[in-house]
Amino acid sequence: MSGEHERFVEELAAYVLDSVEGPERARIEAHIASCATCGGLLREYQAVVGVLPVSLEPVVPPAEAWAAIRNAARGRPLHMGFFARMAEFVNWRPVAGWSVVGAVVASLLIWNVVLQLEVPGKSEGPQVEALARRPGRLVILAGAGVPAASARLLVAADGGHGHLAIAGLKRLPADRIYQIWFVRAGAPTVTGGTFNVDARGRAWVSVDTPVPFDEVREIAVTEEAAPRSVTPTGPYLLVARSWR
């Protein structure tokens, strides 16, 4: 067993406990992706961590908690996945369903086109604020490696995609690219896309959120070699670690 491998095995327990910070986390994930032994050990450690809360002395939650959850759930439209909703609808209404599906898809396409058209050539502030009022989550990324930079990520309520508004980064040459990463606990870091900024250091890009947003512990932007990297290799230029 190589010394390098042993070093990663040493880090694996801390990684599963979400006790390792960004760059080191990325290196561990890159190793896990290529090491079956560590992959197996990772699963065993995850299973152990999964039962740790059982050791706690049970505490009964306040009775009013369920009422609050129920009322809030009733007050919110359920954010079912689009295809689940459509599948359910079509199952019940095999004939009329498809016309409605078509209309909804067309509406979404129009909305998306409008969204894209809103962006270029205008100040992004009002658009970002308007989007921030739509159902979803707003995450602020602060400059890490580039203190003057900042970004706002608007994630749709049902996850799956978001929009990222960036300011303060330098424009990169053709062989370099900015890349956004979703860092998770006990699971590989995944990318949400790449982008470059304009001459003023700004960009407004559509971002994929390919993993459940509740699993994401950090969101970071790094500079990578074009066209993209499989794992973050550069230092974090922008990062968000805590959001509601």
State both tokens at 11: 């880090």
Q: How far is the CB of 26 from other proteins (least distance, A)?
A: 14
- Measured from the CB atom, the residue of 63 and 174 that comes closer to other proteins is 63
Q: How far apart are CA 238 and CA 62, in angstroms?
A: 40
Q: Which residues contact 172 (CB under 8 A, 6 or more apart)?
A: 178, 196, 197, 223
- Within positions 124 to 163, which residues make up the interface with other proteins, using CB under 8 A? 157-159
Q: Which of 4, 33, 70, 129 is the binder for other proteins (CB under 8 A)?
A: 70
Q: Which is nearer to other proteins, 81 or 126 (CB)?
A: 81
Q: Which of 1, 3, 57, 133 binds other proteins (CB under 8 A)?
A: 57
The one among 4, 5, 50, 148 contacting other proteins by CB under 8 A: 50
DSSP state for residue 232 in the 8-state scheme:
-
CB of 39 to other proteins, least distance (A): 8
Two structure tokens written together for 52? 């740790």
Of 54 and 114, which has the nearer Cβ to other proteins? 54
Binding residue (CB under 8 A) for other proteins from 4, 5, 33, 88: 88
Q: Which stretch binds other proteins (CB under 8 A): 38-46, 112-120, 138-146, 195-203?
A: 38-46
Which backbone phi and psi does 155 adopt, to 5 degrees?
-105, 130
CA distances in angstroms from 50 to 13, 17, 20, 32, 187, listed in the order given: 13, 10, 18, 19, 14
Residue 198 in contact with other proteins, rule: CB under 8 A: no
Nearer to other proteins, 9 or 172 (CB): 9
Instruction: Return the range that interacts with other proteins (CB under 8 A); candidates 75-83, 100-108, 162-170, 229-237.
Output: 75-83
Residues engaged in binding other proteins (CB under 8 A) = 9-14, 16-21, 36-37, 40-41, 43-63, 65-70, 72-74, 76, 78-81, 84, 88, 157-159, 185, 187, 212-215, 217, 241-244
